[in-house]
Amino acid sequence: MTTTTWTNATQLRRDWFSNVSRDLLAGAVVALALIPEAIAFSIIAGVDPKVGLYASFIIAVVTAFVGGRPGLISAATGAMALLMVYLVKDYGVQYLFAATILTGMLQVIFGLLKLGKQMKFVPRAVMVGFVNALAILIFMAQLPQLSGASWVVYAMMATGLGIIYLLPRLTQLVPSPLVAIVVLTGASMTLGLDVPTVGDMGELPTTPPGLMLPQVPLTLETLQIIFPVSATLAIVGLLESLLTASLVDELTDTPSDKNQEAKGQGIANIITGFFGGMAGCAMIGQSVINIQSGGRKRLSTLAAGVFLLFFILVLGHWVSQIPMAALVAVMIMVSIGTFNWSSIKNIRRVPRSETAVMVTTVVITVVSHNLAIGVVIGIALSTVFFSRKIAQVVFVDTVLSSDGSERTYKVAGQLFFVSVEEFLSAFDFEEELERVTVDLSHAHVWDQAAVNAIDKVVLKFRRHGADVELLGVNEASQSLLNRLAIHNEPDALEKLANH
């Protein structure tokens, strides 16, 4: 066996077969949790339940092979379903299939452009806010199942939560959520309880998905209809997938390939569109179930997809008997496990600005029910706070010569549009001097506002009869000054007045 072959075999074993039993069990639990959600998201999008179920099966199976984050669960999601409503309502489901294919193509392009690496610019406060908001949304999504329900539903949910949290103290051989689902389903069928079941959510498909072409005209008008929807789906899907991948990275203390995940999501959506499915992305709730149930490798993701199809085609009659109370208990466990409780416990220890970013991200996301909007506003607010902090670390020290004719201003820090006001306030333009030296050895000039501020300093001193010299300008700052500065031009004063 060559070294390359041995390395590939080791990699294959590590990615797929190093955690077989727990991956298969976790996949089974995830598959059961996928069924009601896929049906519910199909209803949100205004399509037949099989569209969401087929999509969940195909996306899970494809991302198991080509995704960048082992253990990540991707399927039809609520965030994506909300973006499809008007396309389906106005143009029909065939346009949704075409939009799904285009969504995948855009995501593959994003992956090839290596946009996944840009995740490093998402601050931790935004990540925590995203996770907390998602936990709240998962919990809120369960409330319709409890509103107006009988005491039996509440009792079954409480029993389910008891099994989920107490069973691991006795044994961890079998995932406790799976035990809760089996026990409650058995009790419901044996006692003939009148409670809502998975079957009440919609009819399960009886045949596997088949290859098809979207029945839409291949015209520029079609592209104009589906492109805005596809572009939004591609961005929201990648944002949610990459943030979920980062969360799984933290939960498992292992890295992921974000660019490969972007390409994997794209390939999965392209294939889904050709099999009559809706666009999807990573699911944080199901991914957390998978991790908490012991799933770690690609086999758990593949198992989730395969078990899903098996359950709906072969065991459809039994699956339809699962009480919704059992799945609500599982999702409440997910909600509790997803929420970052330390962010509440340590709220007085972290900087107020980070707390403000976290809370803002949570509030915007929960109110809008749109994770992308919450994250974007959180990043924008974090950028504002960061700029303010950087602006406050501009230091200007001055030294007057022994004869009082020359003053040196030593500047340290980042000069940009936020810090120029503090920079300018450090200079005394009324002081009578023959010579002024501005030492920029420990400063960096970032933008046009900073260049304009330096022009003002130089020209104001010159207007009072002093010679001005700039020292220690680094190469990048000098390049910007050479292109934008006007203080050495003949009509500099007039140009400055016009700025």
Task: State residue 97's pLDDT score.
Answer: 96
In a domain, 386, yes or no: no
Q: Which of 309, 327, 344 is the last residue of a domain?
A: 344
**Beta partners for residue 444, in sequence order:** 414
One domain for residues 170 and 295: yes
Residue 144 CB neighbours (<10 A): 12
CATH of the domain at 408: 3.30.750.24
- List Cβ neighbours of 75 (8 Å cut-off, separation of 6 or more): 34, 37, 38, 55, 56, 59, 60, 280, 283, 286
Q: What percent of the chain has pLDDT over 70?
A: 94
Domain assignment of residue 356, yes or no: no
In a domain, 358, yes or no: no
Q: Is the pLDDT of residue 125 over 80?
A: yes
Q: Which residues pair with 470 in a beta bridge?
A: 438
Residue 495 pLDDT > 70:
no
Same domain, 187 and 304: yes
Residue 350 inside a domain? The answer is no
Which of 165 and 79 is assigned the larger pLDDT? 165
**Whether pLDDT at 62 is above 90:** yes
**Residue with tokens 């690496």, as numbered in its chain:** 117
Q: Does the pLDDT at position 494 exceed 70?
A: no
* CA distance linking residue 251 with residue 153, whole number of Å: 32
Residue 465: the pLDDT is 86
- Tokens of residue 231, six digits: 């572009």
Residues 281 and 199 placed together within one structural domain of the fold: yes
User: Same structural domain for residues 334 and 433?
Assistant: no
Decide if 416 is inside a domain: yes
Residue indicated by tokens 């572009």:
231
What pLDDT band is residue 314 in, cutting at 50, 70 and 90?
confident
Number of domains in the chain: 2
* Span of 3-17, 24-38, 264-278 with lowest mean pLDDT: 3-17
Picking from 344, 378, 401, the residue at the C-terminal end of a domain is 344
**pLDDT in the model for residue 11:** 75
Establish if 119 belongs to a structural domain.
yes
SS (H, E, C) 89-120: HHHCHHHHHHHHHHHHHHHHHHHHCCHHHHHH
Residues whose CB is less than 8 angstroms from the CB of residue 425 and which lie 6 or more positions away in sequence, other chains included: none
- Whether 380 is covered by a domain: the verdict is no
Residues 181 and 312 in one domain: yes
491 pLDDT higher than 60: yes
> Residue 201 and residue 48: Cα distance in Å, rounded?
11
pLDDT digits (tens, 9 = 90+) for 245-280: 888 888 888 888 888 999 999 999 999 999 999 999
Q: pLDDT at residue 146 above 80?
A: yes
Single-letter code of the amino acid located at 70:
P
> Among all chains, which residue has been given the structure tokens 């758990």?
300
The reply to whether 259 falls in a domain is: yes
Over the range 212-233, which residues count as b (16 or more CB within 10 Å of their CB) and which as e? Answer: eebebeeeeebeebbeebbebb
Report how far residue 356's alpha carbon sits from residue 348's, in angstroms, rounded to the nearest whole number: 12
Amino acid at 365: T
Helix, coil or strand: residue 459:
helix
Helix (H, G, I), strand (E, B) or coil at 34: helix
Other Cβ atoms within 10 Å of 495 Cβ, number = 14
Domain boundary among 312, 344, 376: 344
pTM summary value: 0.68
- What is the domain range of residue 476? 393-498
User: Of 10 and 353, which is predicted with more confidence?
Assistant: 353
Instruction: Read off φ and ψ for residue 171, nearest 5 degrees.
Output: -155, 150
Residue 110 contacts residue 262 (beta carbons within 8 Å): yes
